[in-house]
């Protein structure tokens, strides 16, 4: 009968008669006894391994318990991780909700109203006597010219105005034109330059030839005369 043998060196399989005691490998030249190899291939009973097997069977339950405890421990870890993730997500959700509920407008601290400053008293106006040149004319004539100019001033440049804005500016200009026209008239009547009439007005103001109360009128936001000069004045 023919049997198949495998070279123990190179692993080549060869077909040889069953009664052959020695076989030579045609590939690597190894010579071996197929009968000895077959006996060696039979499984041998290892008493030590068998005893160990019995011990393993006896301790199977403990191994199962250990596996079970390990499995339980792993499940507990997974549950703890999942719980941590849920907690973090919930905490983030609360933070987002609180952020959305915030007041978008910045909180501004209330600032107490500062007390309004009282306007400065008109008495702060300080009247300074103007410089003048004495005109070569009798003092009585100069005083008469001065009083005529004072009458014109009372009804023109010293007239109190209640209107404000551009209309007031236009009115002030009109009243100034009236006063300037009176200066030209006085200069023509006395045959003197217009500057002489202005010098007479300055002299009369400096010497207070007109002691009557002065107007409380304002021009450019300021009083023309100190408030004390207006005591008893009637428009």
- With a threshold of 0.75, does the pTM exceed it? no
**pLDDT tens digits, one per residue of 149-188:** 999 999 998 888 776 778 888 888 999 999 999 999 999 9
Dihedral sign, Cα of residue 198, residue 200, residue 203, residue 209: negative
> Could you give phi then psi for residue 4, rounded to 5 degrees?
-100, 130
Tokens of 225: 């005369």
Residue 25 to residue 28: CA distance in whole angstroms: 6
Contacts of 26 (CB under 8 A, 6+ apart): 12, 14
Task: Determine contact, residues 165/220, Cβ cutoff 8 Å.
Answer: no
**pLDDT tens digits, one per residue of 72-122:** 666 677 777 877 778 777 777 777 677 666 655 555 555 555 545 445 554
Residue 207 to residue 201: CA distance in whole angstroms: 10
Instruction: With cut-offs at 50, 70 and 90, classify the pLDDT of residue 227.
Output: confident
Check whether 49 has a pLDDT greater than 60: no
Domain parsing of the chain, residue ranges: 2-42, 129-230
Question: Which strand (E) or helix (H) includes residue 218?
Answer: strand 218-219
Task: Determine contact, residues 213/107, Cβ cutoff 8 Å.
Answer: no
Percent of the chain whose predicted confidence (pLDDT) is above 90: 28
């Amino acid at each position: 009968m023919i049997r198949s043998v495998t070279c123990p060196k190179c692993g080549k399989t060869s077909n040889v008669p069953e009664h052959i005691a020695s076989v030579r490998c045609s590939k690597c030249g190894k010579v071996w006894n197929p009968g000895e190899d077959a006996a060696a291939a039979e499984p041998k009973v290892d008493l030590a391994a068998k005893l160990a097997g019995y011990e393993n069977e006896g301790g199977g339950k403990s191994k199962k318990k250990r596996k079970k405890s390990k499995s339980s421990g792993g499940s507990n870890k997974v549950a703890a991780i999942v719980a941590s993730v849920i907690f973090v997500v919930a905490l983030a959700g609360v933070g987002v909700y609180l952020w959305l509920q915030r007041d978008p407008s910045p909180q501004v601290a209330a600032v107490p109203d500062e007390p309004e400053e009282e306007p400065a008293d008109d008495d702060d106006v300080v009247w300074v006597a103007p410089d003048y040149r004495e005109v070569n004319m009798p003092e009585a004539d100069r005083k008469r010219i001065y009083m005529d100019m004072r009458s014109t001033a009372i009804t023109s440049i010293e007239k109190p105005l209640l209107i404000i804005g551009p209309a007031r500016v236009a009115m002030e200009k009109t009243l100034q034109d009236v006063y300037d026209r009176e200066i030209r008239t006085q200069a023509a009547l006395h045959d003197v330059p217009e500057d002489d009439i202005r010098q007479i007005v300055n002299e009369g103001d400096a010497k207070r030839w007109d002691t009557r109360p002065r107007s409380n009128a304002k021009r450019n936001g300021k009083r023309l005369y100190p408030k004390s000069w207006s005591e008893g004045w009637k428009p």
